[in-house]
Amino acid sequence: MKQRATFFIVLILVLGSALGGIYGSQTDGRTGKWSPGLQKISDLLDTAEKYYVGKVDSEDAIYLSINGLLRQMDPHSQFLDQAAYANLTEEHEGHFYGLGITIQKIEDRLTVISPIEGTPAHRMGIRAGDVIAKIEGESTKNITSDEAAKRLRGPKGTTVHISVARQGIDELIEFTITRDEIPLLSVPYSFLLKNKITGYIGVRNFTETTEKELTKALQELTQQGMTHLILDLRGNTGGLLDQAIAVSDLFLAKSKLIVYTRGRVKGSSQEYYASEDAQYESLPVIVLVNHGSASAAEIVAGAIQDHDRGLIVGETTWGKGLVQSIFRMSHSTALALTTAKYYTPSGRCIQRDYTKSLEDYYFLTDEEIKKLPHGESHKTSAGRTVYGGGGITPDVELHAVETTKLFDNLAARRVFFNYTTKFIAGLTPLGQKMLIKDPLSGKVNIHRDYRVGEDILVDFKDFLTSEKITFDEKALESSAPLIRMAIQGELYADLWGAQEAVRSNADDDPILKRAIQLFPDAIALMKMQVLTTEKPQS
């Protein structure tokens, strides 16, 4: 890779979901210049602590004032307190130490949403739908999910005792589980679709292990007969720049420009080129994107689109073209500060306008997104017109199936999850017929080719009635296809894991069906590539 930077540059998408790496160090103090202003803040806090009618938390007040200052700059510069910085570091390193379960408070019950395959919790038999009633003998009724997660995590090799309530079993089940390293997979899903030649790979984010995980998935699928690839970046909020570059390099010929950055300070302006050949440069590729695809995901989509290397399919992406650098601060905190803009090979900066309000920036409706104006026009390697500003516009626009009000309401209340839990426990009429015998293991007489049909919908309707969940008959009928897919996904996830859940619904996904039909266009586009190396303009 030519002109590699001497530090890592971080890409961060939105508040509360920062992903990225770290470079730089704490800046030198400038107390002489800033002393008068800092003294005013100190005097204000001292006065508030002494005389305010309520209790003043000075640390919270300082953190809020810092973020208030940063919000005046741009939406992505932010102060990371200890918890946020620890979460960011954990996320981009791709692992943590704990049990390997996803938990959520449903009403007042600390519920296991899913165990991660191969982890201590999964090996011990923890199941989706289990309720963790006690941690080390203490009730979980009045603690939050975050507080519970802190108690369940800990150093590798240590143990934690939990008491679990399970559907169909009267007494609590006791588990003593030894904590271990839990991988946070960047590439959680990879498999061949039904036609046996199209590979599907989902990339969740860009962490230190993304390129390694993706390469492994590509190798395995190639051995299984893959000749076409669907790379799913929908909902991928970004992450490490160097990993976005490495992923792009897998599909681009050597010396092709991938991305370049421009900033004010020394070292922030860089160009990054593909450095490897003989990888997957000739594999037909379709990249799926949506409005949740951002940052590093947009770098990959932009590089592939600008070089006419593959077809970009889906919805216009988020539109984040700002680069954040993470500076370590004192007390295990950090500053994520915007230090550059990035540009796709054709010269596009795809950053969406954020000058109106944060509300406009973060909460646009689908219709408002469609009406966003294009920025300056640019040309791809083969001469196609693409635009800057407002994200990556797909080559073929496809939108997700619109949901119904009833479906959204049931999903938000996790009704499909709760139904599946009861079904597997044999606590619904159909579930009781299909239960083998053992509610402890929850084994059911279902094979992996099982598809949710009308019998499940009847059983689900009875479940809604028994749970006193009101519904309109016509609305339920019109929502039936969505409900079938939701229940099937929950069922497969519980019985065979998350990848099988994704695989089971893939063949029914209208976007994937349409994407497969577009491969002739993707192949034709590849033949249009112009073998030149672009030089970015300063």
CB 435 within 8 A of CB 422: no
Secondary structure (DSSP) of 22-81: --S-PPPP-HHHHHHHHHHHHHHHHHHHHH-SS---HHHHHHHHHHHHHHTT-SS-EEE-
Q: Is 474 an annotated catalytic residue?
A: no
Catalytic residue among 320, 325, 346, 479: 320
DSSP class of residue 347 equals: S
Q: Which of 90, 78, 137, 129 is nearest to 106 (CA)?
A: 129
Distance CA 417, CA 421 (A): 6
**Known catalytic residue: 266?**
no
- Is the separation of the CB atoms in 244 and 206 below 8 Å? yes
Residue 332 designated active-site: no
Q: Which one is catalytic: 81, 130, 249, 306?
A: 306
* Cα 422 from Cα 432, distance rounded (Å): 10
| Active-site hit among 163, 293, 295, 381 | 295
What six digits make up the tokens of 264?
A: 């004010």
157, amino acid identity: G
**E strand or H helix that includes residue 408:** helix 405-412
Three-class SS of residue 116? coil
Q: Are 525 and 284 in contact, with CB atoms under 8 Å apart?
A: no
Alpha helix (H) residue ranges in 425-518:
429-434, 454-466, 473-478, 480-496, 498-506, 510-517
* C-alpha distances in Å from residue 241, one per residue of 8, 115, 298: 8, 30, 11
Instruction: Classify the phi-psi angles of 28: left when phi > 0, otherwise alpha if psi is within -120 to 50, otherwise beta.
Output: beta
Nearest by Cα to 121 from 142, 90, 97: 97
Catalytic (active-site) positions: 295, 306, 320
